[in-house]
């Protein structure tokens, strides 16, 4: 049998797949499981069998697909750029495998074309049929989910999908790259400065360098310097809901706290909308690995944790819109209205603020012109892949810095960790410290502060000072990653509710102390634990004053905030989400509706 080997706990190969395709892509990464005979039989009870011929297109790149396909016989090729000069084969699936990746589950357009290679038979189910089936068969649902997550990661790593053409020195190019990377959208960046392919593509589309950045897909679609929102709609990310209806709950921010709030609120029947300015996952979504996340003994990447939570929230009917940058919050007629940067508005009975914090920029001479090109405030796969040949430096002493160091050490030949304090123990978890101290490519410089960035268009070196010895010296590094603390994302809330001296949202007794006594007297109660100085507006996670800046804590606060939302609305959620309150609505099941 070619293809994936049967692993411990893996599903057995169905009878129809015994004669698997000789050139089938092997399941090295666990992203191409072969469904068991029982699973195939259950799917067959709901789907329709179709004979297919070589060349039949099942899924077309750039279009949404509403059908779940399983190969019964023959084979299906997954192709990028199908029918274009750049067409190339990504993989081949034989009997017992299904077709699709994460975009199939969350409503994005396809990043490839699925075309029949060898004639045979396929099984087709609508997404509604699949959702209904996996609701009753959690094992099948987990097989499909794990495979789709793995396939998305492979597409991202292979540079499949659309292309961004632009200069590394262009702010708009950096903006588009960041948006695509943080939203885990398969794409490839073509640098106008160094990539020979860029000139040929510009000639093909009759576009000058001054008109970049461009987004190109399948040699047929060209977007000229699109906004983040335009790119999001192009890919199929859901927009803000239209209309002027009043929802039960609006969650602003889609990091761990916001996602936990969304899962709990939607599962308990609250009409829930989540908005996010940049990308789902927040700072945690950019973490290469989180080893102390409850329930994942072998660790989990921030991207996978985020995608799982997004699908889980959607499973219960929560609507998540990206990008949607909140600009103003104000009470209105017993509800709350949140206005957005594009002029749109959403009104809800309650609001949970989970906007988190943003990494603080480093202010030293020479650094600003290099930001986005050689100086980064996150460490994703796209930055790491550019660090294979040269040393890099990481500034910071917390967990985010530690996670970045270990991730980058898998690519760069040398990683310097610059820590201003005398040790790592003050702000970093022990498990990270142990790994850093053992890693042969990592060098920790304590008592060390960066004082200058050197380089014209790209970073060439940094100047550092050892405060213990007073020594100044240069470190020859080609990239700098900064994790020196964070500031709350609350500029848009200034004047709307009570903030502490550093801009974090006050809650509970501290928030009540900042309000006029008549406000809470009119409520007939005290301010609830996670409630802000506005009754019915709650805060959770890193944005809240006094919160513990950890993923697990943010998740806990997000979940707990929904308990207080129910108390504010005057009802308690019954176990299993069977609340009979007029504010609830029927739950949807299994991924996204």
Instruction: Tell me which residue of 476, 419, 467, 427 sits closest to 446, measured CA to CA.
Output: 419
**pLDDT score, position 22:** 62
- What integer pLDDT is reported at residue 264 of this predicted model? 97
- What fold, for 368-484? FAD/NAD(P)-binding domain (3.50.50)
CA distance 234 to 112: 15
HSE of 465, CA atoms in CB hemisphere, 13 A: 5
CA distance 115 to 75: 9
Q: Which helix H or strand E contains 79, and what residues bound it?
A: strand 67-80
Q: Which helix (H) or strand (E) holds 348?
A: strand 345-353
Domain ranges of the chain: 15-158, 162-235, 246-358+488-577, 368-484
Residue 546, exposed/middle/buried by CB under 10 A (0-12, 13-18, 19+)?
A: exposed
Instruction: Give CA–CA dist 529/559, Å, rounded.
Output: 13
What is the C-alpha radius of gyration for the chain, rounded to an integer number of angstroms?
25
The pLDDT assigned to 21 comes to 58
Q: Residue 198 in contact with residue 186, Cβ under 8 Å?
A: no
* pLDDT reported for residue 243: 64
62 close to 110: Cβ distance less than 8 angstroms: yes
Q: Decide yes or no: CATH 2.60.120.10 for domain 15-158.
A: yes
15-158 matches 368-484 in fold = no
Residue with tokens 């004669």: 19
How far apart, in whole angstroms, are the C-alpha atoms of residue 84 and residue 113?
A: 12
Could you please state the CATH topology (level 3) that the domain comprising 246-358+488-577 is classified under: FAD/NAD(P)-binding domain (3.50.50)
**The pLDDT of residue 218:** 80
CA of 141: how far to CAs of 17, 134, 147, in Å? Answer: 21, 5, 10
The number of beta carbons lying within 10 Å of the beta carbon of residue 176 is: 26
7, with CB counted inside 10 A (0-12, 13-18, 19+), is exposed
Low-confidence ranges of the chain (pLDDT < 70): 1-22, 243-245, 571-593
What pTM value is reported for the model?
A: 0.86
Question: So what's the architecture of 162-235 in CATH?
Answer: 3-Layer(aba) Sandwich (3.40)
Q: Which residue has the tokens 């900064």?
A: 482
pLDDT tens digits along 179-210: 998 899 999 999 998 888 899 889 988 999 99
Q: What is the pLDDT of residues 24-41, one digit of tens each?
A: 999 988 899 999 999 999
Residue 110 CB: number of other CB atoms within 10 A? 22
């Amino acid at each position: 049998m070619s293809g994936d080997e049967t692993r411990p706990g893996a599903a057995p190969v169905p009878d129809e797949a015994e004669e698997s395709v000789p050139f089938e892509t092997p399941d090295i990464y666990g992203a191409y499981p072969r469904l068991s005979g029982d699973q195939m039989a259950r799917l067959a009870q709901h789907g329709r069998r179709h004979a297919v011929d070589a060349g039949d297109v099942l899924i077309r790149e750039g279009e949404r697909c509403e059908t779940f396909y399983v190969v019964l016989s023959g084979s299906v090729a997954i192709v990028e750029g199908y029918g274009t000069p750049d067409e190339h084969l990504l993989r081949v699936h034989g009997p017992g495998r299904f077709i699709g990746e994460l975009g199939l589950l969350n409503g994005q357009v396809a990043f490839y074309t699925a075309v029949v290679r060898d004639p045979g038979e396929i099984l087709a189910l609508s997404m509604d049929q699949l959702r209904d089936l996996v609701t009753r068969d959690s094992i099948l649902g987990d097989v499909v989910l794990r495979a789709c997550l793995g396939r998305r990661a492979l597409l991202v790593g292979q540079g499949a999908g659309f292309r961004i053409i632009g200069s590394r020195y262009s702010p708009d190019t950096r903006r588009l790259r960041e948006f695509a990377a943080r939203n885990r959208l398969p794409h490839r960046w073509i640098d106008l400065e160094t990539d020979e392919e860029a000139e040929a593509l510009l000639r093909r589309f009759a576009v000058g360098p001054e008109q970049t950045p461009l987004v190109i897909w399948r040699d047929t679609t060209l977007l000229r310097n699109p906004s983040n929102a335009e790119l999001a709609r192009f890919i199929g990310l859901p927009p803000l809901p239209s209309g002027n209806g009043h929802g039960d709950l609006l969650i602003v921010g889609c990091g761990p706290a916001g996602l936990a709030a969304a899962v709990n609120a939607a599962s308990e029947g609250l009409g829930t909308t989540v908005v996010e300015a940049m990308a789902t996952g927040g700072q945690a979504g950019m973490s290469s690995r989180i080893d102390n996340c409850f329930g994942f003994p072998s660790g989990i990447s921030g991207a996978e944790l985020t995608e799982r939570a997004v699908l889980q929230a959607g499973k219960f009917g929560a609507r998540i819109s990206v990008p949607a940058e909140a600009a103003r919050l104000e009470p209105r007629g017993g509800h709350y209205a949140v206005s957005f940067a594009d002029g749109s508005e959403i009104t809800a009975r309650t609001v949970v603020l989970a906007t988190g914090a943003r990494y603080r920029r480093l202010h030293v001479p020479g650094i600003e012109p290099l930001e986005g090109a050689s100086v980064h405030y996150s460490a994703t796969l796209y930055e790491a892949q550019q660090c294979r040949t040269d040393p890099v430096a990481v500034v910071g002493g917390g967990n985010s810095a530690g996670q970045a160091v270990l991730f980058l050490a898998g690519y760069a030949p040398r990683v310097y960790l610059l820590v201003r304090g005398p040790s790592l123990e003050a702000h970093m978890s022990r498990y990270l410290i142990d790994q850093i101290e053992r890693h042969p490519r990592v060098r920790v410089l304590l008592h060390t502060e960066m004082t200058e960035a050197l380089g014209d268009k790209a970073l060439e070196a940094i100047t550092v000072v050892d405060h213990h010895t007073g020594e100044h010296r240069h470190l020859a590094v080609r990239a700098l990653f900064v994790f020196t603390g964070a500031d709350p994302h609350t500029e848009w809330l200034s004047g709307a509710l009570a903030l502490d001296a550093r801009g974090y949202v006050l809650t509970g007794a501290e928030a009540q102390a900042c309000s006029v006594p008549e406000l809470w007297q009119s409520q007939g109660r005290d301010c609830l634990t996670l409630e802000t100085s506005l009754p019915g507006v709650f805060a959770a996670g890193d944005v809240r004053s006094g919160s513990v800046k950890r993923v697990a804590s943010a998740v806990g606060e997000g979940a707990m905030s929904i308990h207080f939302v129910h108390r504010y609305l005057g009802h308690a959620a019954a176990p299993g989400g069977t609340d009979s309150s007029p504010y609830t609505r029927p739950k949807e099941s299994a991924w996204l509706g």
